[in-house]
A = this chain, B = another copy of it.
């Protein structure tokens, strides 16, 4: 059959940048947090090479913010994540897993402390605003929980710093990784963070006035002309090579933060009151039985994937491939999967079963070689 188109309606919200993305041409979209997210501009491979070579502007407005504000904002923020937020001063951001009482993943947001009593959870694809609102309501906390109209616009790629500096000024160069600063664009102060969902380096600009969106997009495109700037989007090849997990694809509500390999963001020894931390402490004590790992799958390019593929050893199920794609740079199929721990040693041979037939594969380290150029 021919590939189904996406019905775009009010419910699949357009972004402040959709008009620009569509004027340039966008090959495919997905829906993420009830909002449009481009997935291919020219095509996954062409977008990949360009991202690693030049610089792209990404419409990631769908990374919606959940704002916690008020006297109990810090208490609620800490309850919501197992990462110790006590060291998060204003101006700092970072990954902070949100889990349920069983330690299972509800979301893997980037948390920004935008003021002493105000946090933004920049969320992946689930309605954290309802989880946070329900917790706050149930506990009677003095905090407002809402989704402000903030639309991140990312600039990613080796030339990103030059482009963002040309628009926002040279002080951009002083922003450290996972730090943000308020910078001015046409008289309007916007938060600019050194962050983003690629390993190529770059920034995310938190556009809190939708009417500025088009103008900012155009200014970045103009400033980037000399660097061959183009519209882009999170890239399937690049993010698998970098080992960046997609919530909903590589990790779901069925997986704990430790199974997701996020232990470096789980402050299990910290004396904090966080939902799910006790469950993760117990799991850490006995050890996980499965975890996310990298895989190299043999043979020609794997087909497009829309559901996990079984992984077996000696005919016995040991896990599943959750994301896989052909890497034209490595000339191999790179993949991520959830695998029983006894089969996660680097170099372990397994069999994977895409719809077009069994293939041999090997467990390998992530990030994949050369994924980051920094």
**Contact among B6, B29, B130, B136 for A138, CB-based, below 8 A:** B136
Question: A273 contacts the other chain (Cβ, under 8 Å)?
Answer: no
Q: Are B22 and A6 in contact (CB under 8 A)?
A: no
Pairwise interchain contact B34-A125, C-beta atoms closer than 8 A? yes
A25 at the B interface (CB under 8 A): yes
Question: How many A residues have CB within 8 A of the partner chain?
Answer: 57
Q: How many copies does the complex hold?
A: 2
* CB-based contact B9/A249 at 8 Å: yes
Determine how close the nearest CB of chain B comes to the CB of A337; give it in whole angstroms.
12
Indicate if the CB atoms of B306 and A133 lie closer than 8 Å: no
Choose one: B9, B27, B134, B139; the contact of A4 (CB below 8 Å).
B27
Residues facing B in A123-169 (CB within 8 A) are 125-128, 130-140, 147
Q: Which residues of B contact A3 (CB under 8 A)?
A: 5-6
B10 and A25 within 8 A (CB): no
Of A28, A38, A130, which is in contact with the most chain B CB atoms at under 10 Å from its CB?
A130
Complex contacts, A135 vs chain B, CB 8 Å:
134, 137-138
Q: CB-defined interface of A240-263 with B at 8 Å, one 1/0 digit per residue?
A: 000000111100010000000000
* Interface hub of A38, A137, A305 (most chain B Cβ within 10 A): A137
Q: A14 near B: Cβ within 8 Å?
A: yes
Q: What secondary structure prevails in chain A residues at the interface with B?
A: loop
8 Å CB contact of A14 from B14, B101, B307: B307
Q: Please tell me if A195 contacts chain B, counting CB pairs below 8 Å.
A: no
- Check if A11 is an interface residue, CB within 8 A of chain B: yes
Contacts of A305 in B (CB 8 A): 9-10
Q: Return the chain B residue nearest A25 by Cβ.
A: B1
* Inter-subunit contact A308/B6 (CB<8 Å): no
Residue of B nearest to A127 (CB): B127
Closest to A1 in B: B25
B138 & A10 in contact (Cβ 8 Å cutoff): no
Residues of B within 8 A of A38 (CB): 4
Interface membership of chain A positions 1-19, coded 1 if the CB is closer than 8 angstroms to chain B and 0 otherwise:
1011111111110100000
B1 touches A4 (CB 8 A): no
| In the complex, A100 has a CB within 8 A of chain B | yes
The answer to the question of A106 belonging to the interface, with a C-beta cut-off of 8 Å to chain B, is yes
Bitwise, A291-322 to B at CB < 8 A (1) or not (0) is 00000000000001111100000000000001
A362 contacts the other chain (CB 8 A): no
Tell me if A248 and B10 are in contact (CB < 8 A): yes
Distance, CA A135 to CA B137, complexed state (A): 7
Are B5 and A6 in contact, CB atoms less than 8 angstroms apart? Answer: yes
A40 within 8 Å of B by Cβ? yes
Max chain B Cβ within 10 angstroms of own Cβ: one of A1, A31, A39 = A31
A275: chain B residues within 8 A (beta carbon): 137
Q: Which residues in chain A, 306-353, are within 8 Å of chain B measured between CB atoms?
A: 306-308, 322-323
Some 10 contacts from A to B, beta carbons below 8 A apart, are A9-B246, A10-B307, A12-B31, A30-B31, A31-B31, A34-B248, A133-B134, A134-B138, A137-B275, A138-B140
Interface residues of A (CB under 8 A from B): 1, 3-12, 14, 22-23, 25-31, 34, 38-40, 100-101, 106, 125-128, 130-140, 147, 246-249, 253, 275, 304-308, 322-323
